[in-house]
């Protein structure tokens, strides 16, 4: 199915324009300088807005067109298809059908056979992941009454891989500085290892300190899932996601209930925790809407025969 031909012209959503302007959509292939074509598109978008603040941007078959100043920017077929997929997700979720999120509709969607099959596969994927919990984005499909899951690699897994693949202190220090800014756990230990690697301490002592830090980081990373919004948007752009945004999901180890951190995060955003149980799968849908005392929706699906 050729999505570019299906949507020859359509207005870009404000959220997509913001991602282009800020160059905050990490689509592959990326280099140290980012995605060259995305970078050029971002520069063109910023200049277009500077010329005409109320500019409207439209998709064409070959790229993007400005309605007010009649400027065109051609992009590759693959990038255009990715931008159209993400724009479709933003547009679809601008006006949400409230009945889709009623408790009975959500439970029905989780009990759909395709949803149950997908959750089983996610649990298998989680069992094989030794660096992080498995998680991503969930959406509810009003037409088929099922839930779609889009796995997204956690930010802590990305950093765990970087920490295990290099031993050059010069290359590791910027990574550790990023971890200090973006990963909430081990802030004191991260600051301490940065100071150690910058010091005049000998290599043997640095290696010993780093190995100790790495072991602790990998332990915390294995039982955590930290999402990156820009990476989530990049996955939607790459693979698409039908339906209405239901929330972020992650898979817990068997019989491991939502953590205090899960509950705190759910005060402001929707979280789904998938928990393998004896004889079935439990889903806890946490969204407190600014009310910390609200109860989650708990759904148990029996899967044993």
- From 190-194, 285-289, 295-299, the region with the lowest mean pLDDT: 285-289
Give the pLDDT of residue 31: 61
Q: Using one digit for the tens of pLDDT, what is the confidence trace for 108-138?
A: 999 999 999 999 999 999 999 999 999 999 9
β pairing state of 244-251 and 135-141: antiparallel
Cα–Cα distance for residue pair 213/113, rounded to 1 Å? 43
**pLDDT higher at 294 or 191:** 191
Q: Which stretch of 3-7, 74-78, 99-103, 259-263 has the lowest confidence by average pLDDT?
A: 3-7
How much is the pLDDT for 32?
62
Give me 127's structure tokens.
């069992």
Quickly tell me which residue has 């491991």 as its tokens: 256
Task: Show the domains of the chain with their CATH numbers.
Answer: 3-92 (no CATH), 98-154+228-302 (3.40.140), 155-222 (no CATH)
Position 6 scores a pLDDT of: 42
Per DSSP, the three-state class of 301 is strand
Tell whether the model's pLDDT for residue 260 goes beyond 90.
no
* Helix residue ranges per DSSP H, the chain: 3-6, 14-22, 36-51, 77-92, 103-110, 113-128, 155-165, 169-182, 187-198, 203-222, 229-239, 260-265
**pTM of the full structure:** 0.87
What tokens does 258 get? 């939502």
Mean pLDDT of the chain: 89
Biggest CA–CA distance in the chain, Å, is 65
In tens, the pLDDT along 146-171 reads 999 999 999 999 999 999 998 899 99
32-77 pLDDT, tens digit each: 666 889 999 999 999 999 988 788 999 999 999 998 889 999 999 9
What pLDDT score was predicted for residue 244? 93
Query: Which residue from 99, 49, 97 is spatially nearest to 73, judged by alpha carbons?
Result: 49
Find where tokens 């500077």 sit. 50
Looking at beta carbons, which pairs linking 157-166 to residues 24 or more positions away fall under 8 Å?
157/129, 157/131, 157/132, 157/221, 158/228, 159/183, 159/217, 159/221, 160/131, 160/132, 160/217, 160/218, 160/221, 161/131, 163/214, 163/217, 163/218, 164/214, 164/218
- Candidates 228, 227, 178, 238; CA nearest to 27 is 238
Write out pLDDT tens, residues 86-113: 999 999 988 767 778 888 999 999 999 9
Using a pLDDT cut of 70, give the percent of the chain over it.
92
């Amino acid at each position: 199915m050729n999505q570019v031909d299906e949507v020859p012209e359509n207005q870009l959503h404000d959220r997509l324009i913001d991602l282009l302007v800020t160059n905050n959509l990490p689509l592959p292939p990326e280099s140290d300088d980012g995605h060259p074509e995305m970078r050029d598109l971002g520069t063109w978008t910023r200049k277009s807005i500077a010329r005409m603040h109320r500019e409207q941007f439209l998709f064409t078959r070959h790229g993007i067109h400005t309605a007010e100043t009649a400027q065109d920017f051609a992009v590759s077929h693959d990038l255009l298809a990715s931008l159209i997929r993400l724009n479709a997700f933003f547009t679809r979720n601008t006006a949400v059908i409230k009945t889709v999120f009623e408790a009975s509709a959500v439970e029905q969607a989780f009990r759909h056979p395709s949803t149950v099959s997908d959750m089983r596969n996610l649990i298998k994927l989680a069992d094989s992941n030794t660096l992080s919990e498995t998680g991503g984005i969930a959406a509810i499909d009003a037409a088929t009454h099922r839930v779609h899951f889009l796995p997204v690699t956690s930010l802590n897994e990305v950093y765990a891989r970087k920490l295990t693949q290099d031993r050059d202190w010069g290359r590791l220090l910027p990574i550790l500085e990023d971890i200090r800014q973006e990963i909430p756990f081990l802030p004191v230990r991260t600051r301490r290892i940065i100071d150690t690697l910058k010091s005049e301490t000998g290599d043997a002592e640095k290696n010993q300190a780093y190995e100790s830090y790495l072991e602790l980081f990998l332990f915390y990373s294995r039982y955590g899932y930290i999402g990156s919004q820009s990476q989530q948007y990049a996955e939607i752009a790459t693979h698409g996601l039908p339906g209405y945004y239901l929330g972020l999901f992650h898979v817990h180890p068997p019989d491991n209930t939502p953590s205090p951190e899960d509950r705190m995060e759910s005060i402001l955003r929707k979280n789904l925790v998938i928990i393998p149980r004896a004889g079935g799968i439990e889903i806890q849908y946490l969204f407190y809407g600014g009310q910390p005392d609200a109860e989650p929706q708990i759904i148990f699906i029996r899967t044993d025969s």
